[in-house]
């Protein structure tokens, strides 16, 4: 049976078709990983409204995104829930200046990516983005506690734990000691020194003449003068 022109064409193109299929199989799949959406992680969590507002008001949210794109160390963020903020004393956030609000949020950010296992072995205190104060981590197994010196809470849930960003839920706002630590009471002023009185040290003085002695001396003088004048008169009378 004679081969048709179509058969010859298929035989000629088969090597090219084989090479094309092999090239497609070896080509890497298009990457589905885009820029990290940090705030999107919190929005998806559904209970971080106050934190999201503070991240926006203080611009710390933008700072975190920029650092994720420029740093090879990654970041670790502790995310207080809305209940955590509600448990603060009324007016706490409003009493803070804008810079103190920035420092409060930066205190919840570590300038390095840490897994939960890392936090159990890292030397304490761990530096935060608010460089004045660090955090201390303790725990056992999969339970990790974080302490500021003012408040201590447990890390309950990992919203994300994949390099370069870890986001952990906490049920208390992490309060830095320099902003919320108990200040020592002011020391009472030292009592003023009182000047020394005559009762403390007395200087002996010579006793003055009494009034009785003065009168006696005066009467003696008068008597002496009277006798003198009397004798004088008697002598003159005898002469004349």
Tens-digit pLDDT profile for residues 101-115: 999 999 999 999 999
Query: Do the domain assignments include residue 10?
Result: no
Query: Do the domain assignments include residue 4?
Result: no
Tens-digit pLDDT profile for residues 35-53: 789 999 999 999 999 999 9
Phi first, then psi: give them for residue 47, nearest 5 degrees.
Answer: -140, 40
Query: Do the domain assignments include residue 126?
Result: yes
Q: How far apart are CA 136 and CA 5, in angstroms?
A: 80
| pLDDT of amino acid 145 | 97
Residue (of 150, 132, 57, 64) closest to 102 by Cα position: 57
Contact 172, 164 (CB under 8 A): no
Query: Do the domain assignments include residue 207?
Result: no
CATH (domain of 139): 2.30.180.10
Query: Do the domain assignments include residue 158?
Result: yes
Residue 140 pLDDT class (50, 70, 90 cuts): confident
Boundaries of domain holding 147: 38-170
**Prediction pTM value:** 0.64
Tens-digit pLDDT profile for residues 173-203: 999 999 998 655 555 555 666 555 555 554 4
Q: For the purposes of burial, counting CB atoms within 10 Å of the CB of 39, is it exposed (0-12), middle (13-18) or buried (19 or more)?
A: middle
The overall average pLDDT reported for the chain is 78
Q: How do the residues of the chain divide into helix, strand and coil, expressed in percent and rounded to 5?
A: 45, 15, 40
Average pLDDT score over residue span 86-91: 95
Query: Do the domain assignments include residue 181?
Result: no
- Total structural domains within the chain: 1
């Amino acid at each position: 049976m004679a081969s048709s022109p179509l058969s010859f064409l298929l035989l000629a193109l088969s090597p090219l078709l084989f090479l094309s299929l092999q090239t497609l199989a070896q080509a890497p799949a298009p990457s589905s990983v885009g820029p990290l959406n940090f705030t999107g992680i919190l929005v998806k969590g559904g209970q971080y409204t106050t934190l999201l507002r503070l991240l926006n008001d203080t611009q710390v949210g933008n700072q975190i995104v920029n650092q994720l794109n420029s740093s090879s160390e990654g970041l670790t963020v502790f995310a207080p829930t809305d209940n955590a903020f509600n448990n603060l004393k009324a007016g706490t956030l409003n009493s803070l200046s804008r810079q103190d609000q920035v420092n409060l949020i930066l205190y919840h950010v570590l300038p390095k990516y840490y897994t939960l296992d890392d936090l159990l072995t890292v030397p304490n205190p761990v530096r935060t983005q608010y460089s004045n104060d660090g955090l201390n981590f303790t725990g056992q197994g999969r339970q990790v506690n974080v302490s500021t010196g003012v408040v201590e809470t447990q890390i309950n849930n990992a919203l994300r734990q994949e390099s370069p960003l870890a986001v952990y839920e906490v049920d208390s706002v992490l309060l830095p000691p320099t902003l919320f630590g108990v200040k020592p009471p002011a020391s009472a002023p030292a009592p003023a020194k009182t000047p020394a009185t005559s009762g403390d040290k007395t200087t002996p003085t010579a006793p003055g003449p009494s009034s009785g002695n003065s009168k006696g001396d005066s009467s003696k003088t008068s008597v002496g003068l009277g006798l003198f004048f009397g004798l004088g008169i008697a002598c003159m009378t005898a002469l004349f």
